Structure 1
Amino acid sequence: MPDPTTFEKLRPCGRLETHSTARHHLGLYKNVGFSAQYKVSSNTQLSLENHVYGALRHVISHHPNLSAITLNEDQSYPNAYFARIPAINLRTCVEFLQRSTPFPGDGENDEELDQILVQQHSRDFKQDLGSKPFWRVFIVTSPVDARRFTATWVWHHALADGISGFIFHDSFLAGLNLLKVGDSTDPVVKSPNTALLPPLEELHPMPISWPFFLRAILGSILPSLFARRPAKLWTGKPVPVDVTAQSEARCQTLVFSKAITTKLAQASRRERTSVTATLQCLLTASLFSLLPAAECECLSVEGPMSVRRFLDVKDDQMTDAVAQYDFLHKRIVNDAQAGKILQYFSWDTAREVKSVIAAEAAKGGDDNFAGLLKYVPDMHGYLLDKVGKPRTPSVKISNVGVWQNAQRQEEDQSETKWSVERMVFSQSPNLVTNGIAVSVVTGADGNAVVSFCWVEAAVGDEFMKKVIDGVREGVEELVKESKS
């Protein structure tokens, strides 16, 4: 077993990265996942294993964060740091699996992938520290379709944000298509010497205004006065004292066909809002339909937002750069004839959500929650202070958008061309904050995929199944009612 303390020290983990290392060390948050289904247009001369190893060699050579691991995770800034693993043996972090059912069709759920995600989002990267990277890839094939496979990349959140999942698969796809007979497919890859990008606080000044600062500080010191919890706010069960006792992730994806996804986007544009805002309002409508008004009059939602466009980084560079918006949904009841879910849905609220997101984006990364982390001297204590208390927010929803290479992929029809189809974005639930984690992506197949992750210590499994069914019903009702 190698001694990781002898590895090349790259740089201290930044404040946002230390937030991730502390969560990982305490077992409060395991990882992020991004899956993509790949298809090749004709037979290839290389085995799938060689294709995967060759493509990953390409990815590793272009992205130095994949050779980095975090050390001193039990400590706060600036003692937690990134070190470079000298070489990566892909056999330690790539696993090949075979599914028992065919790949799903347009709009069909993938229960086998859901089961893989359940297992993956319950596993961290603490085992065999220093002998393998802080990421892994799962390749899932089908015995009845040799031209397709699903690649799931799972990674430590300190290495990269959700948008970086697109960058990984862009690079992996390029590696597949560039690979030629005779190229190296050796599973042992020497780590590149490229420097890591600086942390977010060195890429962006993240200025904090006095009103933003004072609200945060006073809310922390005197929450009963300056951060009063809204009456009848539902956030699931309180954080248990033994917080990691029921930490196994539950995951279920909801897949909307290309036709329904297109109609949902058209309806959202027609109503001057966005798909993210519409889905958020349908999700809260589903929750309101299940929760009695005597117990729940409002729901709080947080949504991470990328601030990459405000940074001096290239489009193909992975980083961890996010801001966050917050929205408090209040129970509304429309005409009972609107349908079970749409009774609690409002286009006006969807427009308000879009406006809040736009206002946060207009800040350009200023007054960012990440900028407040420099005032947290003990990140582990900050996180553990939430144990035994009510959760907040009710839901965290993250929409990374639409895969942008879809059109270019359609235009390039070269021989033996690998292409991407469905995508799935998912992540572990956070054991001390939101009870429900929702992640959204639309792949090249045009299917919007909504991934729900939770733990039973926060919300019950049967309740979540009803929530997910309600979101499906709400989307279907909405596109049916909308004019074509």
Structure 2
Amino acid sequence: MEERGEIVRPAGLLERYHIVRHSVGLDSCVLNAAQYIHPENHRLEKGALFQALRKVVQLHPALGIRLARELSPNPSFERLQIVDLAEIVEFSDSCGLKATIEAQLLRPFNTASALPLWRVVVMKDDTICFAWHHCIGDGMSGLAFHRTLQASLEEGEDHTPAANYTVLPSRNTFTPAIEEMTSLTPSWGKVVLEIFELFAPTAWTRGASAWTGNPVKTDISLTTRVLLIEFAPDEVSALLNICRSHKATLTSAFQTMAISVLSSLIPAEKHKTISSYVPISLRGIAGTPSDVFCDHVSTLHSYPRINATFSWVEAAQYASRLRSYTPQSVEEIGMIRFLFGKYASFFKGKLGKKRQGGIEISNVGRFEAKSSLEAGPTWSIGRMVFAQCDAVLGAALKLNVVGDSLGGVTVAVTWGAGAIPDSFAEEFTSRFKVGIDRLLKATSG
């Protein structure tokens, strides 16, 4: 009989939400890929990588746990006896990042095994693709992983035998659930509104005339399509300057551009608004450092009106709304209590119904490396990509945004198979890039 490990702590409200969504087959992972670059063009050696990963696991308790009583009403996190890196690190001869991301987003975790809730794929060009279960980390947690790994590689090799790929998990405290860090109690107005939206006839709700892509399919598939848009450091710098001049942010500019592009593609006679989600980090409210793993995120759900014309005024207004809504956004997590533990039936009840989200724009920010060593060759990180699954119930179209340490930005446009036609997503991606390019040309002109 397999020996059980120490129970670290019970899963929190949002963590249970993500645990059940995964366990019923509706989600796989979150992912952050980063290319590691050496100034002398050295390749990433397996021995050095595994030794660096040992340090990463020993620093982050989230990387040394698995789920206990996953299917019970009260799942917990259990510390593993040991983490065998050879079981969760794969080496690929591929340099195709898009195909690698799509393959990873198709793979849920075997939560019944004695493996941790993360894995790594090392590509031929030294791109490290880190995938993790959403219950142990939000999007910013991927940046924390790469920040720690880069610092560990810079420290150089220790005296551990190269063939030793096992590591004892960290005994540090796993970051508490968000409800342990701040109050999530929703206002009565929020409760009444959400209950009305949940039980009222669809025609009476705010989302009745909103575009949300195709209805949720009843035949579950995690297949996720990916297209990548890259903006060079000089383009990002220029775009940030114009955003500041209009009192907007990169997120609000992308949001406004996405709405204008979708508006040009959607039949206006059928829809009046677009259902939009923008995740909001709660780390500032909770006092959670940026370099730890945690599931501390909420969202702003809004219904911008169909408008095919990009407006800096709207971008500025949305930026202001995001800032002001951040403290209130904790109520979104508090509302999970009103599921009364019936997560599975809540998720399954959405199959075959109108999708809730049309577009989601998730910006995890810019990757900031830890200070490099003063002397000697060091590893740096170039191109970085952030993506997530949630292909079944999630927004029809997602824009996953991350900035790299060189100043560039990559947008991973993702959509679940069947959520929208592939041709629609491809046309959206093309027009979105053209739209941002026009903003830059207007600035330079």
CA deviations on 1:103-151 (whole Å, 9 max, x unpaired) are: xxxxxxxxx1010000000100027x32321110111123xxxxxx111
Could you tell me the TM-score, scaled by structure 1's length?
0.87
Would the alpha carbon gap of residues 222 and 331 (structure 1) be closer, same or farther in structure 2, given more than 3 Å must change? Answer: closer
> How do residues 91-106 of structure 1 correspond to structure 2 at under 5 angstroms?
91-99=86-94
Alignment partners' CA distance in 2, 1:265 and 1:466: 25
Give the aligned partner of residue 472 of structure 1.
433
CA deviations on 1:9-64 (whole Å, 9 max, x unpaired) are: 222211100100111011111110011111112376x9610121011111100111
**Is residue 394–residue 436 contact of structure 1 (8 Å, CA) maintained in 2?**
yes
Residue 31 of structure 2 corresponds to residue 33 of structure 1:
yes
Could you tell me the TM-score, scaled by structure 2's length?
0.94
Residue 225 of structure 1 and its aligned partner are, at CA, apart by: 8.1
Give the aligned partner of residue 104 of structure 1.
none
Query: Could you say what secondary structure the match of 1:351 adopts?
Result: helix
Alignment partners' CA distance in 2, 1:150 and 1:224: 45
Structure 2: state its 5+ residue gaps. Answer: none
> How do residues 221-236 of structure 1 correspond to structure 2 at under 5 angstroms?
221-224=199-202, 227-231=205-209, 233-236=210-213
Give the aligned partner of residue 61 of structure 2.
64
> How do residues 274-313 of structure 1 correspond to structure 2 at under 5 angstroms?
274-313=249-288
> How do residues 304-383 of structure 1 correspond to structure 2 at under 5 angstroms?
304-333=279-308, 344-363=309-328, 366=330, 368-377=331-340, 378-383=342-347
Aligned residue identity for 1:85: L
CA deviations on 1:54-105 (whole Å, 9 max, x unpaired) are: 11111100111111112333333x2x111122111111110112335xxxxx
**Is residue 85–residue 130 contact of structure 1 (8 Å, CA) maintained in 2?**
no
Work out the percentage of aligned pairs sharing the same amino acid: 26
CA deviations on 1:373-415 (whole Å, 9 max, x unpaired) are: 1121201111111111100110111101112338x55xx5521
**Is residue 65–residue 80 contact of structure 2 (8 Å, CA) maintained in 1?**
yes
Q: What is the aligned counterpart of 1:201 among 142, 160, 179?
A: 179
Would the alpha carbon gap of residues 176 and 240 (structure 1) be closer, same or farther in structure 2, given more than 3 Å must change? Answer: same
Q: What is the aligned counterpart of 2:47 among 47, 50, 60?
A: 50
CA deviations on 1:409-452 (whole Å, 9 max, x unpaired) are: 5xx55212111112111111341231122210010122210011
Aligned residue identity for 2:422: D
Give the aligned partner of residue 132 of structure 1.
115
Give the aligned partner of residue 396 of structure 1.
360
Aligned residue identity for 1:286: V
Alignment partners' CA distance in 2, 1:286 and 1:43: 41
Alignment partners' CA distance in 1, 2:353 and 2:64: 38
Residue 179 of structure 1 and its aligned partner are, at CA, apart by: 2.3
Q: Which stretch has the larger CA shift, 277-286 or 291-300?
A: 291-300
Give the aligned partner of residue 442 of structure 1.
403
Residue 230 of structure 1 and its aligned partner are, at CA, apart by: 4.0
Structure 1: state its 5+ residue gaps. Answer: 101-111, 143-148, 334-343
> How do residues 206-245 of structure 1 correspond to structure 2 at under 5 angstroms?
206-224=184-202, 227-231=205-209, 233-242=210-219, 244=220
Would the alpha carbon gap of residues 432 and 414 (structure 1) be closer, same or farther in structure 2, given more than 3 Å must change? Answer: same
**Is residue 397–residue 415 contact of structure 2 (8 Å, CA) maintained in 1?**
yes
Alignment partners' CA distance in 2, 1:217 and 1:99: 48
Aligned residue identity for 2:152: G
Aligned residue identity for 1:298: T
Would the alpha carbon gap of residues 332 and 437 (structure 1) be closer, same or farther in structure 2, given more than 3 Å must change? Answer: closer
Alignment partners' CA distance in 1, 2:24 and 2:14: 16
Alignment partners' CA distance in 2, 1:356 and 1:28: 31
Residue 319 of structure 1 and its aligned partner are, at CA, apart by: 0.9
Alignment partners' CA distance in 2, 1:324 and 1:43: 41
Residue 187 of structure 1 and its aligned partner are, at CA, apart by: 0.8
